[in-house]
Amino acid sequence: MLLMLGLVWNSSAAGDKPEPGIQFTNAQWAAILKKAKTEKKLIFLDAYAEWCGPCKLLQKNVFTKKEVADYFNKRFINVKMDMEKGEGVMLSQRYPLEGYPTLLFIDGNGKVVKKILGYQNPQELLAAGKSVK
């Protein structure tokens, strides 16, 4: 049985333990915005769809990298949202998407500070994270 628990996991073999990576919160969007304001942090939103191949590659090959995870876990409130289910449907209306994956950096007021479309390798994602203030 796999439990998400805010960790990224590699399920290549039965019984694998979760690997450290970007820690994503499962909180409701309103609570995430409030936390971003309180902690004076930006939100990193991975807007994905379950069927999206490049989204799965980000999850497997980028979000699990120690350097990326260390930077993002320290500086952002990290959120993964399936934009075709649950709260993601509402967010996809608020933040219209051109494709998947879309990576958004959003302030505590809900304003998009930076938007990136498509797969990013670890170095590109880290550079994008460092470019936002």
Is residue 30 annotated as part of the catalytic site, yes or no? no
d(CA 12, CA 42): 32
> What is the dihedral sign for C-alpha 125, 59, 107, 98?
positive
Looking at residue 110, its pLDDT comes to 96
Residue 97: alpha-carbon gap to chain centroid: 15
d(CA 116, CA 104): 6
Rounded (5°) CA angle 61-18-117:
30
Residue 54 predicted with pLDDT over 50: yes
Residue 18 predicted with pLDDT over 60: no
Residue 40 predicted with pLDDT over 80: yes
Is residue 52 annotated as part of the catalytic site, yes or no? yes
Residue 90 predicted with pLDDT over 60: yes
d(CA 131, CA 67): 16
Q: Which position among 42, 52, 77, 79 bears the catalytic label?
A: 52
Residue 23 predicted with pLDDT over 60: yes
- Looking at domain 24-131, which of 3.40.50.10860, 3.40.30.10, 1.20.1090.10, 3.40.50.150 is its CATH number? 3.40.30.10
Can you give the residue ranges of every domain in the chain? 24-131
| Integer angstrom CA distances of residue 127 from 9, 105, 121, 122 | 23, 13, 10, 9
Q: In this predicted model, what pLDDT tens digit does every residue of 93-121 receive, in sequence order?
A: 999 999 999 999 999 999 999 999 999 99
Structure-model confidence comparison of residues 2 and 119, the more confident one:
119
6: CB partners within 8 A, 6+ apart = 23, 24, 25, 26
Q: Which position among 55, 77, 81, 106 bears the catalytic label?
A: 55
Q: Which amino acid is located at 69 in the chain? A: A
Summary mean pLDDT of the chain: 88
